[in-house]
């Protein structure tokens, strides 16, 4: 499909030359002699990309850019001017321009910039399609985001057990969403009208955990001024979620096993048996078969808990879901903080999908919240992400096997950043800390191009 490009420039001679060049390159070209005409043509012809002059007689280019990004946030816009400055370029990028070209610009540079901008446009539209799919999907668990094969396996098991009052064990690394699954099982299960009560077994000492789970009678120990209900009683008619169950002491494991076997318990200091009326969901980030083999976890309790197991994949095992999760978090935090971030730049998505995420979804969510709070403009870029994410993605160079001169090292460094930025020179200049003209000169001196091998 032929891409449609709109040129908005009051210089008739320049406009006609640019129109001819782009038409020869196979693009469908529209032209406008001023900002007002340009805005009308965007509304009427839906171009894929706009080449926008900075200075025009009726409306300044930055104002046109602002209006374009307000009405069509995902439209790719490349600014052009003979009066370039770093301050103006930064402002244009901040307002959502893809790039900033200073006249006269090299024809090859123009073609590369257009190609990269159109590639981003495709990615943005794919992102929109994914967002629409997320909103329209008919899956039973809309609070859990994902379409990858691994997460679909999780949904498949959840659908089978949600409506049955069976004990479920959820395994997976920290931050993979185990409690989210537990809450979904409760919300869509037969006990949804009852309470959901969660206990972090790793956060409490043995004595405190016993009181927390089973409650205590008045006077059962020093400071027990009254009777207190435990979580088993609080969860009556609903779901009790025991998080990090593998961190229970051997004594507490034995007491939990007895409750599961007999279906009743006594409060600390009490003698009356109280029947349980809960659905139990447990979770752990440890490998329970290994814990059982090492005698750190009771085998009989393991089999009591492991009626059905749901294994949550690590985020690095479901990288296909990262764009969906990012989209969801951008919407969530954009609404919370009143900041609209409509798209994710290619360089940022490269960083986000290249990182291994030891903290999994919790870590990803933290960084997206931080980026929404600290960033500006309608697009999330690599500049909004911390060095822990960008360093690996932008500088994936192995140690050289032979000594290299400084020029070779510098050329390789610059080439790597340019490639990860899809040859967006404005973004590469920001990351490298170079003036755009300096970067252009280094590209020429080192003979770098999109086809150069890293």
Question: What pLDDT is recorded for position 131?
Answer: 59
Burial of 170 (0-12, 13-18, 19+ CB in 10 A): buried
Q: Are 127 and 344 in contact (CB under 8 A)?
A: yes
Instruction: Give the DSSP letter string of 61-127.
Output: HHHHHHHHHHH-TT-EEEEEESS--HHHHHHHHHTT-SEEEESS--HHHHHHHHHHHHHHHHHHHHH
Burial of 234 (0-12, 13-18, 19+ CB in 10 A): middle
Residues 6+ apart with CB under 8 A from 337: 372, 373
Res 404 pLDDT > 50 = no
- Model confidence at 41, pLDDT cuts 50, 70, 90, reads very high
Domains in the chain: ranges and CATH: 4-135 (3.40.50.2300), 149-315 (3.40.50.300), 319-393 (1.10.8.60), 395-454 (1.10.10.60)
Using alpha carbons, select from 445, 443, 437, 384 the residue that is nearest to residue 417: 443
Mapped onto helix, strand or coil, the DSSP state of residue 56 is coil
d(CA 371, CA 94): 14
Question: What pLDDT is recorded for position 212?
Answer: 92
Question: What pLDDT is recorded for position 432?
Answer: 65
Span between the terminal Cα atoms of the chain, in Å: 31
Question: What pLDDT is recorded for position 397?
Answer: 39
Question: What pLDDT is recorded for position 132?
Answer: 59
What does the pLDDT look like over 258-305, one tens digit per residue? 999 999 999 888 888 999 999 999 999 999 999 999 999 999 999 999
Res 134 pLDDT > 50 = yes
pLDDT average, residue stretch 329-348: 85
This prediction's pTM: 0.61
d(CA 195, CA 181): 16
Count the residues in the chain: 454
Instruction: Output 277 or 94, whichever has higher pLDDT.
Output: 277
Instruction: Output 317 or 119, whichever has higher pLDDT.
Output: 317
Res 398 pLDDT > 60 = no
Mapped onto helix, strand or coil, the DSSP state of residue 58 is coil
- Model confidence at 253, pLDDT cuts 50, 70, 90, reads very high
């Amino acid at each position: 499909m032929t891409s449609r490009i709109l040129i908005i420039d009051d210089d008739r001679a320049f406009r006609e030359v640019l129109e001819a060049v782009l038409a020869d390159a196979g693009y469908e070209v529209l032209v406008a002699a001023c900002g007002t005409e340009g805005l009308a043509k965007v509304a009427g012809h839906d171009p894929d990309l706009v080449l926008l002059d900075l200075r025009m007689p009726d409306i300044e280019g930055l104002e046109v850019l602002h209006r374009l990004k307000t009405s069509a946030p995902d439209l790719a816009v490349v600014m052009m001017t003979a009066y370039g400055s770093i301050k103006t370029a930064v402002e244009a990028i901040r307002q959502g321009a893809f790039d900033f070209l200073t006249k006269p610009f090299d024809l090859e540079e123009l073609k590369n910039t257009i190609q990269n901008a159109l590639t981003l446009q495709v990615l943005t539209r794919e992102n929109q399609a994914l967002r629409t799919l997320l909103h329209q999907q008919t899956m039973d668990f809309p609070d859990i985001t994902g379409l990858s094969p691994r997460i679909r396996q999780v949904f498949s098991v959840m659908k089978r057990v949600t409506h049955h009052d069976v004990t479920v064990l959820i395994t997976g690394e920290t931050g993979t969403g185990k409690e989210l699954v537990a809450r979904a099982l409760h919300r869509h299960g037969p006990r949804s009208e009852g309470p959901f009560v969660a206990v972090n077994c790793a956060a409490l000492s043995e004595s405190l955990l016993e009181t927390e789970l089973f409650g205590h009678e008045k006077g059962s120990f020093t400071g027990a001024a009254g009777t207190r209900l435990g979580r088993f009683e609080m969860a009556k008619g609903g779901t009790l979620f025991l998080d990090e169950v593998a961190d229970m002491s051997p004594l507490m494991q034995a007491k939990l096993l007895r409750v599961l076997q007999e279906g009743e318990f006594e409060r600390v200091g009490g003698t009356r048996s109280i029947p349980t009326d809960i659905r139990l969901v447990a979770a752990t980030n440890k490998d329970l078969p290994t814990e059982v083999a090492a005698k750190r976890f009771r085998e009989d309790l393991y089999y009591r808990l492991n009626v059905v197991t749901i294994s949550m994949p690590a985020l690095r095992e479901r990288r296909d879901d990262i764009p969906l999760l990012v989209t969801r978090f951008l919407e969530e935090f954009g609404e919370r903080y009143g900041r609209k971030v409509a798209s994710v730049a290619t360089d940022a998505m490269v960083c986000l999908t290249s990182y291994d995420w030891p903290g999994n979804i919790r870590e990803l969510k933290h960084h997206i919240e931080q980026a929404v709070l600290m960033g500006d403009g309608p697009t999330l870029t690599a500049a909004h992400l911390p060095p822990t994410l960008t360093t690996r993605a932008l500088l994936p160079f192995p140690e050289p096997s032979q000594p290299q001169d400084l020029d070779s090292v510098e050329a390789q460094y610059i080439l790597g950043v340019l490639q990860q930025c899809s040859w967006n020179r404005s973004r590469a200049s920001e990351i490298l800390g170079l003036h755009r003209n300096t970067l252009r000169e280094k590209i020429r001196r080192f003979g770098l191009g999109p086809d150069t091998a890293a």
